[in-house]
Structure 1
């Protein structure tokens, strides 16, 4: 039987020149294929603009594409070059419901101020430099859904991807008049002043879960073979901070692949989180969907070859058939040192990308990959 693994990498426009020309794109796709990768996640949405000519953005905001790419279609160019070397393409909607970064809402909220998310003081919702649209607003949800469907309908892609901002909303949000009125209607009282109130957290997270369920259904209605992939924050931190109820997403079967962002800079921390996620979040039937997000490069940081090897070996020992790296430029650091490690050792044997059937395979396959200790741990947890 041929080897099937998810070997993915995110391709950004930040700290990267790959998207600046089709020639650069072609060279990058060659490099990824030669290194043993089989799927690329190119950015198509950030800073309130798209990386393809968008009729929806033109009609709604008067900006068809990121100004750096006027006259081009980087997404289409990338698909052509990726297909040429056998890579799958899953466009990544990086900013999701975030409108801007340190830009006071940017073009989106300047044009549609009624779409702004609000904190409990009524101010524009900001967290870690990002300003947010109201992800609980039906109009905002409709816009994001249509943006995703525009790509699905117009491009030969293998799926779509959301991340720690899709679906998501900082837990400090939800204090806009419309959401408050909806909460009052259901509970006959105002939302708690404490954003971390458990019922208030769950109620808002459930709205985002319903949005993801709708997105999943509408993508599948266009093409049932498309993969809906998400890369959320780690549970349950992601639930408490960004209303990302990824446990429920898995239980409801509204994701095909999930890449929790295990962005730790030492292997011991990475290993501890992997063990916890497998024991607490993933069942025998959903482990096949897991391909953790691994931090390869950020700013001056670059993962060591030793950590890279240990992380992938750890994944395989626990029955995890793949990983996705953030981000592409880490492979080119130090004259491609990390790419050489993958090419010569861990990815030396070629692997085909899993089918949807592989990702949704049931209990029998997954149970084989669980250790006796993990099975005992689950038994005891269910017992008590």
Structure 2
């Protein structure tokens, strides 16, 4: 019987030309299927533009699609080619609440300055080169929700995906007039100047959790079988720096699959983080986990040894899958890493889990608890207690 695993890869527009033509997309899907992958996460929201003709973007900003893709629908092309070779497709909203990278807010905040996130000095919120929209602003939330829902409604996809920017906001944000007033109304004082004050962190993280709960419900209303996948920063660093409280997301059941980004450049570091992560998951939530593994970034490329070790270690921990950042790493050195996977850990095909599979894991836990109760009662009867 085929095993069930999440074998995924992110498809980007950064440092990749896959989206430039239907032919490149078809070749990429062929390589992924031949290598043993079963799901692809194509970017659909990056650098303030979409990779599909978006009514929301057209109505809000007058820019329907990424300028390099005018006259085409790259998302539809990816879906067609992925289906041809049996791959699942979960579109990835990479930019999330970010507005631009080193562009002072870019086109989005140029047109909507009131959507800007602010730091404690009232400046446009920036972190690691990215400028941010205000993730607590109702209009910004509505805008992002509409982007997600138009993809979920109009395309034959298997789910949608958020990441380390969605839902997220750098902890230095939240000092805009709207959020300050909201905090003052609840606590009777201004937010603390220390962005990592415990109560202030949790209060803002809860707003993002509420947003995700709403998004989850709206996606399920369109199609209850669509998967809501999230790839957050690792906890609790991601909580302290980007307000991502994913243990709460799991507890509330508002994420179906989760891919914490264990982006480490050597196996020992990966192993240490993966071990720590395990304590954040229960028997019921562990099947939802497939960590993000850094395959390529700039001049870095994962070694074949580390690649194989990481997958083997995941399986030893009871983790059935991983997602690689990103596709171009498979093609380095004449498809060397693709060959390693195809001839090694991914040699045998694996079925991508359905939502029912992920939910059945919880049922099994309930059943085993019920069996324990029955056994306990039976022992009571037998011992005459």
**In the superposition, relative to structure 1, how do residues 260 and 115 fare at CA in structure 2: closer, same or farther (>3 Å)?**
same
Q: Is 2:35 the counterpart of 1:28?
A: no
Q: Is 2:317 the counterpart of 1:315?
A: no
> 1:366 deviation in Å?
11
Q: In the aligned structure 1, how far is the partner of 2:299 from the partner of 2:367?
A: 40
Q: Is 2:105 the counterpart of 1:121?
A: no
Per the alignment, residue 337 of structure 1 pairs with 336
- Residues 174, 180 of structure 1: 8 Å contact kept: yes
Runs of 4+ in 1 over 6 A off after TM superposition: 365-368
The residue correspondences of 1:170-249 to structure 2 (distance < 5 A) are: 170-249=170-249
User: What's the secondary structure of 2:328's corresponding residue?
Assistant: helix
Per the alignment, residue 107 of structure 1 pairs with 107
Larger radius of gyration: 2
Q: In the aligned structure 2, how far is the partner of 1:55 from the partner of 1:221?
A: 20
TM-score (normalised: structure 2)? 0.94
TM-score (normalised: structure 1)? 0.94
Per the alignment, residue 283 of structure 1 pairs with 282
RMSD: 1.3
Q: In the aligned structure 1, how far is the partner of 2:44 from the partner of 2:354?
A: 24
> 1:2 deviation in Å?
2.4
- Residues 9, 41 of structure 1: 8 Å contact kept: yes
Per the alignment, residue 379 of structure 2 pairs with none
Q: In the aligned structure 2, how far is the partner of 1:364 from the partner of 1:81?
A: 36
> 1:45 deviation in Å?
0.4
Per the alignment, residue 300 of structure 1 pairs with 299
Q: In the aligned structure 2, how far is the partner of 1:273 from the partner of 1:99?
A: 30
> 1:362 deviation in Å?
1.8
Per the alignment, residue 87 of structure 2 pairs with 87
**In the superposition, relative to structure 1, how do residues 101 and 367 fare at CA in structure 2: closer, same or farther (>3 Å)?**
farther
Q: In the aligned structure 1, how far is the partner of 2:358 from the partner of 2:16?
A: 31
**In the superposition, relative to structure 1, how do residues 104 and 367 fare at CA in structure 2: closer, same or farther (>3 Å)?**
farther
Q: In the aligned structure 2, how far is the partner of 1:195 from the partner of 1:298?
A: 30
Per the alignment, residue 259 of structure 2 pairs with 259
- Structure 1: which 5+ runs fail to align? 369-384
> 1:9 deviation in Å?
0.1
Per the alignment, residue 62 of structure 1 pairs with 62
Q: In the aligned structure 2, how far is the partner of 1:100 from the partner of 1:14?
A: 14
Q: Is 2:47 the counterpart of 1:47?
A: yes
**In the superposition, relative to structure 1, how do residues 366 and 72 fare at CA in structure 2: closer, same or farther (>3 Å)?**
farther
Per the alignment, residue 130 of structure 2 pairs with 130
Per the alignment, residue 373 of structure 2 pairs with none
